[in-house]
Amino acid sequence: MTLKEAEEFTSSCRWQYAKTYPSAPHEYTCLAWNPSAKQQIVDFAYLIRDAGYTERFGNSDYRVLVINGMKYWTMDDPLENTDLINRTYADDGKRSRIAEFVQSDKGFESEVGMSLADIECQMRGENEYRKGVVSE
């Protein structure tokens, strides 16, 4: 998979906010939502490993790849078993503002299928969300 193919692939995926980890806001896409994309998901995992860089999070090192302002990673080993890809904004400040909002009492309302972009809409007081789509 080339970077251009990765851009096209990631823009075609459904992305959902991972509400179980509010201090590290991110979203994910999974094979269950698009079983026909198995080879693309695995190819993308290999691209992350081969073209990405190592970054420490907590006590673990992960290979990450930044594309269009989004940081991607997977946690599956071996990569052929990849069935989930994570991503978040590469911009630390943007991630921090989202983390602060979702952990505060400022009116964050989690909804099934929402994305990081949806959270940003809530932060701005907008009522309409584009479930699963992040503007990059």
Could you report the per-residue pLDDT of 61-96, keeping only the tens digit for each?
A: 999 999 999 999 999 889 999 999 999 999 999 999
On whether the pTM is more than 0.95, the answer is no
Q: What is the model's pLDDT at position 135? A: 44
Tokens 């907590």: give the residue. Answer: 58
Q: Are strands 27-30 and 70-73 parallel, antiparallel or unpaired?
A: unpaired
Separation between Cα atoms, residue 115 and residue 88, nearest integer Å: 10
Question: What are the pLDDT digits (tens) for 18-66?
Answer: 998 899 999 999 999 999 999 999 999 999 999 999 999 989 999 999 9
Residue 117 has pLDDT above 70, yes or no: yes
**Is 10 in contact with 87 (CB distance < 8 Å)?**
yes
